[in-house]
Amino acid sequence: MFTPPCPLPTRASGDPSAPVRTAVTTRVPCPRGDGAGARGPPSGTRPAAFSEPSENSGLPSAAFDRRVDGGCTVDGIRDYLVIGAGPAGLQLGHLLRRAGRDHVILEAGPGPGTFYRTFPRHRRMISINKPHTGWTDPELNLRMDWNSLLSDVPDLLLSKYTDAYFPHADDYVRYLADYASTLKLDVRCGTRVVNVAKDGHFKVTDQHGEVHEARRVVVATGFGKQNVPAIPGIEGVEHYSSVSVDPDDFTDQRVLILGKGNSAFETADALTERAAVIHVIGPSDVKFAWRTHFIGHLRAVNNNFLDTYQLKTQNMVLDGRVERIDRAGGAYRARIAYARRDKVVTLEYDRVINCTGFRMDASIFDATCRPRLVIDDRFPELTTRWESVNVPDLFFAGTITQSRDFKRFTSAFLHGFRYGVRALHRMLEQRYEGVPWPERELPAEPGALAGAVLERINRTSALWQQYGFLCDVIAVGDGRARYLEELPLDHVPEHMAGEDERDWFTVSLEYGAGHADIDPFDIEAGRAWEADPSKEDRYLHPVVRYYRDGELAGRLLLPEDICNDWSGEEEFREPLRAFAASALAPVTA
């Protein structure tokens, strides 16, 4: 039997205390301590028509065209049309199908997950797959599973295909294909959307000239285009999306890589054994995911190249801006303005590779429904409902929704947006189908509220993975309490404006403000931080806020725990009960 290094969550109880009158932050002291190959799909769940798709299988789209009659309306206009059968589109498709909604998913490629047939280029994903957790609770296991989609099939998980901590992308393509087939999703493959127009409702035209009509469109296309910085001469360089991945093609060459993100360092690492000189350049600092907790920053799995720089093996990370790129005698001449000093140099390279990320392809939208874009026109500008700010009934799902929390939380990544898609689906159900947000009633009593909060934070994967972005809400009023799960924090005021209650709690998991300011491996800096009572805990910890008449009236910061076990009586339950009692006490003059 597995014996965990720390006790797993248990239940306890406590007592209330004095009322809260103004916005107060309470910080509870923290109890501190020192210190394979692909296997296959879930048994009995894999139809033969979906067997063994691989990166280059060229599988016919008919194999994925298991259409489920969603009851298309008499006028031939779909209620929901989803563009893209990547992870976000499949996740939404499952939820729409389970709810019995009229919908269809259009996919340009030969099967689900077309993006992963090419990316990452060197085929090692950096999303964690950890099947061996010591837990039997599937909800807890999702905290350590950054790849699987949500479903009602217990074994429909990537961990049933591979034990690899960083999975091979081919395994993920197989997984997504099996997810679509097992759940009988209505995916129309080989259907590339070339135009989206709106005249009362949406008219979506594919490459064959067929027009698909829908009342609502959800764009889940992921990134459709390479991001190309505005550098004179860049039209002559190679790009991450198409450059050779054979290191022998770079033997004894001088290579300049534009960008300082994971794709840049993935590429540099792959060339280290063959290239003579590799320079990685960007105008901003290299940010490390282990310090910022934003997993889009440089991951340790891709940072071996930094050793080759600091240990002086002809490779360098340059802080600067490429002003122009010229061709001269078969070589590239890059004019570089250094960021650390007032100096401009021209350096010569055999190859220049653009690895500056991706952007959404907005060219499919015509003037009748072109969404407003933000962040250098890379992403759609969205409401708290994932709806375009200027095109009603046009929604977005998946990595292209990261404008909501750009480089702060996890909306850009599957283990974050799978929960965002579930929240989006609940919003669609509420708005268009008249289905209220799922809830359960609780006694409006401090002990009951504290118990409900602790039960959730010790088990939820959604608040864990979408830290700082999603929250639970406890609406209180007229002697009752309602518990609602997994709303976006920034959407709560809008949601509650349509409810009877004017008072509510939010429950979330968050990193402490300023957590990225110090090196987590610097013992002295960490000791100074922890000794400062004005500082929040740096690591993930529960945050409970109370709103009275829609205004923030109090905040409780529960401490981080080395085992993420927030069940203790004295450290967690008692402060929660006291905070709830204070908030629920009648307001007196």
pLDDT of residue 119: 92
pLDDT of residue 535: 66
Which residue has better confidence, 69 or 490? 490
CB contact at 8 A, 105 and 162: no
Which has the minimum average pLDDT: 219-233, 287-301, 377-391? 287-301
| Residue 404 covered by a domain | yes
In this structure, the answer to whether residues 159 and 220 fall within a common structural domain is yes
pLDDT of residue 120: 93
Per cent of the chain over pLDDT 90 is 70
Cα–Cα distance for residue pair 298/261, rounded to 1 Å:
6
- What is the extent of the structural domain holding 278? 234-356
pLDDT of residue 73: 59
In this structure, the answer to whether residues 364 and 352 fall within a common structural domain is no
Q: What are phi and psi of 49, to 5 degrees?
A: -65, -15
Of 432, 464, 483, the residue at which a domain comes to its end is 432
Q: What is the pLDDT of residues 416-429, one digit of tens each?
A: 999 999 999 999 99
Q: Which residues contact 3 (CB under 8 A, 6 or more apart)?
A: none
In this structure, the answer to whether residues 402 and 376 fall within a common structural domain is yes
Query: Among candidates 354, 121, 358, which has minimal Cα distance to 256?
Result: 354
In this structure, the answer to whether residues 254 and 312 fall within a common structural domain is yes
In this structure, the answer to whether residues 405 and 309 fall within a common structural domain is no
In this structure, the answer to whether residues 80 and 201 fall within a common structural domain is yes
Burial 489-516 (b: 16+ CB within 10 A, else e): bebbeebbeeeebebbbbbbbbbbeebb
pLDDT of residue 292: 85
The CATH number of the domain holding residue 277 is: 3.50.50.60
| Residue 380 covered by a domain | yes
- Average pLDDT on 404-417 reads 85
- Average pLDDT on 49-56 reads 32
Cα–Cα distance for residue pair 204/206, rounded to 1 Å:
7
| Residue 6 covered by a domain | no
Whether pLDDT at 64 is above 90: no
Q: Which residues contact 238 (CB under 8 A, 6 or more apart)?
A: 351, 352, 353, 354
Q: Which residues contact 294 (CB under 8 A, 6 or more apart)?
A: 287, 407, 408, 409
239's enclosing H/E stretch is: strand 238-239
In this structure, the answer to whether residues 380 and 349 fall within a common structural domain is no
In this structure, the answer to whether residues 111 and 218 fall within a common structural domain is yes
- Average pLDDT on 382-386 reads 96
Q: What is residue 524's three-state secondary structure?
A: helix
| Residue 49 covered by a domain | no
pLDDT of residue 522: 80
pLDDT band at 257 (very low <50, low <70, confident <90, very high): very high
Of 356, 389, 416, the residue at which a domain comes to its end is 356
Q: Which two tokens stand for residue 216?
A: 């609502």
In this structure, the answer to whether residues 305 and 368 fall within a common structural domain is no
Per cent of the chain over pLDDT 70 is 86
| Residue 63 covered by a domain | no
Q: How many structural domains are present in the chain?
A: 3
- Average pLDDT on 390-418 reads 90
Which residue has better confidence, 341 or 215? 215
Cα–Cα distance for residue pair 391/398, rounded to 1 Å:
18
| Residue 18 covered by a domain | no
In this structure, the answer to whether residues 77 and 220 fall within a common structural domain is yes
- Average pLDDT on 108-120 reads 94
Of 329, 356, 383, the residue at which a domain comes to its end is 356
Q: How many CB atoms lie under 10 A from the CB of residue 557?
A: 20
pLDDT band at 57 (very low <50, low <70, confident <90, very high): very low
| Residue 313 covered by a domain | yes
pLDDT of residue 62: 36
Q: What is the pLDDT of residues 343-361, one digit of tens each?
A: 999 999 999 999 999 998 9
258's enclosing H/E stretch is: strand 254-258
pLDDT band at 409 (very low <50, low <70, confident <90, very high): confident
- Average pLDDT on 124-145 reads 94
In this structure, the answer to whether residues 449 and 571 fall within a common structural domain is yes
In this structure, the answer to whether residues 460 and 546 fall within a common structural domain is yes
Task: Name residue 547's amino acid.
Answer: Y
Cα–Cα distance for residue pair 50/59, rounded to 1 Å:
9
Q: What is the pLDDT of residues 26-40, one digit of tens each?
A: 444 443 333 333 445
Quote the mean pLDDT of the chain. Answer: 86
